[in-house]
Structure 1
Amino acid sequence: MVAVCFVAFAIYVGVGYWLQVRHGFILGDALSRVAAAQSVLFSRDPHLAAIGFIFTPLSAMLQIPMLTLAPIWPEMAERAFSGTLMSAVFMAGAAVQILGMGLDRGLPRSYAVTITAIFALNPMIVFYGANGMSEAPFIFFMSWAVRRLMMWMVDDDVHHLVTAGGIAMGLAYLTRYDAVACVAAAGVLVGVTTYRRARPAPRVRRALLDTLLVSGPGAATFLGWAAVSWLITGEAFAQFTSQYGNAAILEQSGQGPVDFGAGLGFAAVCVALLAPTLVPIALWCVSGRWGRPGLVVVLAPLSIYGAALAFQALSYASGATFPFLRFFIIAVPLTACLAMLAVPEGVAAAPKRRGRYAPAPVPPRPRRRSRAAFAPVALLLAVSVPVTAWGMGMPNYAPQEYALGAVLAPDPDNVTERKALERRIAASFSTERRIADYLDSLALPEGSVITDTVYGFAILAASPLSTTFVIPSDPDFTALLNDPAAGGVRYLLAVPPEGRGVSDALNLRYPTLYETGADIATLELEIPNDGDSQPNWRLYRVNEPPPGAQ
């Protein structure tokens, strides 16, 4: 397991370095998390709440120690390499959990390693293990929880419930909101299973206790994060109610209502692109265990991973989220897990603490385990690698991944609209880095530039002089925005009041700022943007107050 962890980690870090540091291919959400974590350390008012309440906090918080190195190696923040290190650790951990699922069942090591390698080298897994997004920690925590629940199905050891619910799922919710569906699914699965097993003991009481063990910590995390957000920002669920949240972004981006049936169809296509053999492997798995006690083990991955897929499918079909292929990435570990369950089991390790209601151990039946029992499943799973690579090149389903073609297959002489768009996406945030360099060259004093983080996060991440900027997490942001001249502010960074720019705090306070300077500032620079879907910036110099003004 140690070797698998280190090899996977090295691959993901190498890919992340090549993509982000060498080529500047950085996803916006990853860079915004870096900027949030950087604000905790280096802003004008360093404090933990500066990490924000739009995203759940864990993937950004874990980058804080690494960002202490940013003054020495600026690429740690500027190129989001701290995010690469974070996601690489978790995706390598996810590979270890997949391997553990096979070894727990006594499968041949060669087969377990093969399935793990197919999972770890899936193009989506490699990309999201390398780019600093939240998918890697979410996959790790979900796989950890599924593995422990599978073990609990076998030995009824309460420690598995504590680990799956008290640690893995609680931390999963602090990584992605999808986990709330998995917490609920785990509670139902464990409660029903315990109720059926606990005979003649008080079945209801024992079922409620086990349900509380596995789902209580996740529910407490859900309520705790909402309470903290409400106490600090006045919004319990800022992701859904804030001007910076999902609902606002969907409205600002002009995404109209989604036909429910078409939305479910989109989700089904995404799952098919990521795990084209999910259904046959699942049927193979169930049919091979039908009528045997081991069938219940299959319910753990189907329930927990399946809840995440169902949550995303229903969210998109109801118009509450975006048409992104990555939202269905959990189909990849689901299929790998089922591949571990679809073949004849060996002699599993003896349980450390067998619970009172554990099923009677089934002695392994002598059988000849030839390659014929394992090779078809491994080959079916391997089909996903080229299919997923092909799917990542489809802009209608993979708008955040298909521009990898500009890095993987650069063709400067290709003038087609598709290649031009790929190059613009790959160049995202190069303009913001130039803006940061320009402002740094002015040697401005602290608090000289006001910018919102709607688009300004890339400038903040690229600047080693973070105290130059006044940002929304600063306690005096509103006061300085209302009277920048009196507060010593010299520049305003403005974006067009359209699209996501309508939520920019500067545009809300000064609706005509971008066009005219709103009579408080004079245009100094206009900076066209090289990136796709990124705004053209205008740098306004704040007008000095007239003599004698208070």
Structure 2
Amino acid sequence: MSKRSILSWMLFLIIFAGEIALGYYLAFVKGYMHNDALSRVANAFYVLYSRDPHLGAIGFIWNPLPSLMELAILVFYPLFPVLASRGFAGVIMTALFSGLTAVLLYRTGIRYELSRTMSSMLALLYCLNPFIFLFGANGLSDAPYIYFLMYTIIEFSFWIKERKTSSLIFSGFALSLAFWTRYEAVPFGFSLAIAIVLVIVFIHHRSQEDPKLKPLEKYNKIEATWIIVLLPAVFSGLLWIFFNYIIMGNPFYFLNSEYSNVAQSEVLQNDENFVKLFSSPLLSLLFIAKKTLWYSLPLFAVLLIRLFSWRLHKPDLLVLLLLFAAVPGLQFLLLMKASSFGWFRYFMYVFPVVVAWIPYELSKLRHGWRRRAAFSLIIVSMVGTAGLLSYAITQPDIAPDEHNFLTIETNEYARQQREERVIARWIDNHFTTETILTDSSNAFTILVNSSNAKKFLITSDYGFRPALLDPLKYKVDYMLLPWPSRNGPKSTINMTYPDLYHNGSAWATLHHDFDNQWRLYRVHEPKMEEEDAAAAASP
């Protein structure tokens, strides 16, 4: 095994082990897992261990690839229940991709003829950035998405420089995997399509191989390149729409259902600050610019390198700017449609976009003091970004979602998880064969912490909808409901029976109240009101 291979494996093991250690500390010592991460693990859990196990139980709102990968880990759930109950399957998945990202950056640097020191420093400076490091241990979908995103950009940069069709093929399939991980791949695909036009028109036609391409030849080349790069992602999108149609009965279920981002964003209409953003393009642009600037030091470093090397006018810079603009462009569109929470992490992808581009950028400089000076500037920008993002995590008004990891003892999401683990134990101690109907979009923490998830009739089960509309007919014994105003998705049970949580029903009697956060109702034959009973008894 060569020294380069040994070093790449060492980088992987260092990052992977560090992420696992942090994930263990957060999930076990502190007892907190990000709700979205735990929910993705739960989606994979339902496929294998729910009352009605089937692949469709993985869900049709979030892109399914993270949960699909967690399926392989959850095979060992009977031996290690904490893989689901504490969401540790998600930690393993994100730690794996964090380590792979380090290897990818290192090997990219080597392929671009950077030194082993430069390549390894670039990989470590990115992966050990405290903000990025957190996302390698928190079980969210960002780590695998960033890996596929970087792979797409790196292979695309190889194509720009080497013009090998194989790089286009790798880039296209990486983009499709990015789509199966997060929807942000869609605007990125549009940016990539425009970038292809720029490369073919302004870069490749100037080479000695194609000194003067005719307009029709350029069009044919653009069309062929689009097919190679974009077809896997376009096919993936159509396949996702098809799956939504044949299984959920709505091709755009992921986009407009009661569990979609659009539906959950309705709560923002009650927030005065967001209402101002939604109604003002200028304020939205300012909001986006402020968020994006936190991640932009490496881009400024690239611009300075181009300025001092007299390459600021080169057309490949437009390619980088297009790829960079995909993320803020999407957020602007969503804000105009009043369907984005504007979380700080939504803007983070501009950072890995530039980092993935850096080896290509440095390869354009000659060996010697110019390249070393440029790399020194890159180091300063990476260290500066680490400092900025470390500070941002400590500020709840800047990065509230990430700040929750610093306030686990007091943040409401961690408190809810602790309470719901207690609820799961209480239900396990009191029920064995009874059927409990609940909405898994809210009850996922309870479900993965139960020792017998099959007693729950949940949203992904084929019998859920009929049982929801007629609990008695389908032999539902209990209904578990969340407090209607709690954080998270709206419960379809609460939407179907708006008064049930607070007032019960003629066919449902309160059996147990869990600190007014959850209530368990016993389902029975309808009881007549006292007046009706008296009238029925009179001659």
TM-score bracket for the superposition, by shorter chain length: 0.7 to 0.9
1:139-288 alignment to 2 at 5 Å? 139-165=146-172, 167-196=173-202, 197=205, 198=210, 199-200=212-213, 202-252=217-267, 254-255=270-271, 256-257=274-275, 258=277, 259-275=280-296, 277-288=297-308
TM-score normalised over the length of structure 2: 0.87
Residue 389 (structure 1) aligned with residue 390 (structure 2): yes
Per-residue CA deviation, residues 471-530 of structure 1 (Å, 9 max, x unaligned), is 12111112222332343322111123346689422123322110121221211221127x
Number of the residue aligned with 2:399: 398
1:279-428 alignment to 2 at 5 Å? 279-288=299-308, 290-291=310-311, 295=314, 297-316=316-335, 318-341=337-360, 343=362, 367-368=368-369, 372-407=373-408, 422-428=410-416
Per-residue CA deviation, residues 121-160 of structure 1 (Å, 9 max, x unaligned), is 1122111111111111110001001000111001110010
CA distance in 2, matches of 1:7, 1:309: 32
- The one-letter code matched in structure 2 to 1:402 is H
Per-residue CA deviation, residues 400-438 of structure 1 (Å, 9 max, x unaligned), is 11122225xx7xxxxxxxxxxx44343341111111111
143-152 or 113-122, larger mean C-alpha shift: 113-122
The answer on whether the counterparts of 1:298 and 1:341 sit within 8 Å (CA) in structure 2 is: no
Q: Secondary structure at the match of 1:494?
A: strand
CA distance in 2, matches of 1:153, 1:251: 43
Which of residues 73, 95, 104 in structure 1 aligns to 2:111? 104
Number of the residue aligned with 1:360: none
Which of residues 507, 517, 520 in structure 2 aligns to 1:539? 520
Q: Secondary structure at the match of 2:401?
A: coil
By how many angstroms is 1:383 displaced? 0.9
CA distance in 1, matches of 2:302, 2:503: 61
CA distance in 1, matches of 2:192, 2:521: 53
By how many angstroms is 1:161 displaced? 0.5
Number of the residue aligned with 1:75: 82
Residue 8 (structure 1) aligned with residue 15 (structure 2): yes
CA distance in 2, matches of 1:249, 1:49: 22
Which of residues 495, 508, 515 in structure 2 aligns to 1:528? 515
Q: Secondary structure at the match of 1:400?
A: helix
Which of residues 497, 501, 516 in structure 2 aligns to 1:510? 497
CA 283–503 in structure 1, closer or farther in 2 if over 3 Å, else same:
same
- The one-letter code matched in structure 1 to 2:306 is V
- The one-letter code matched in structure 2 to 1:485 is L
CA distance in 1, matches of 2:132, 2:9: 19
- The one-letter code matched in structure 1 to 2:161 is V
284-293 or 148-157, larger mean C-alpha shift: 284-293
Per-residue CA deviation, residues 54-90 of structure 1 (Å, 9 max, x unaligned), is 1011111111111122222111001110011111111
The answer on whether the counterparts of 2:323 and 2:353 sit within 8 Å (CA) in structure 1 is: no
Per-residue CA deviation, residues 243-266 of structure 1 (Å, 9 max, x unaligned), is 111111111353453233222222
CA 371–171 in structure 1, closer or farther in 2 if over 3 Å, else same:
closer
By how many angstroms is 1:280 displaced? 2.4
By how many angstroms is 1:310 displaced? 2.4
CA 234–370 in structure 1, closer or farther in 2 if over 3 Å, else same:
closer
Q: Secondary structure at the match of 1:426?
A: helix
1:492-503 alignment to 2 at 5 Å? 492-498=479-485, 503=490
Residue 53 (structure 1) aligned with residue 60 (structure 2): yes
By how many angstroms is 1:31 displaced? 1.0
How many residue pairs get aligned? The number is 506
TM-score normalised over the length of structure 1: 0.86
513-522 or 487-496, larger mean C-alpha shift: 487-496
CA 10–306 in structure 1, closer or farther in 2 if over 3 Å, else same:
farther
Compare the two structures and name the one with the higher helix fraction. Answer: 2
Number of the residue aligned with 2:470: 483
1:421-440 alignment to 2 at 5 Å? 422-440=410-428
Number of the residue aligned with 1:114: 121
CA RMSD in angstroms, aligned pairs only: 2.5
CA distance in 1, matches of 2:367, 2:484: 71
Identity of aligned residues (%): 29
Where does structure 2 lack aligned partners over 5 or more consecutive residues? Answer: 1-7, 529-539
By how many angstroms is 1:368 displaced? 4.3
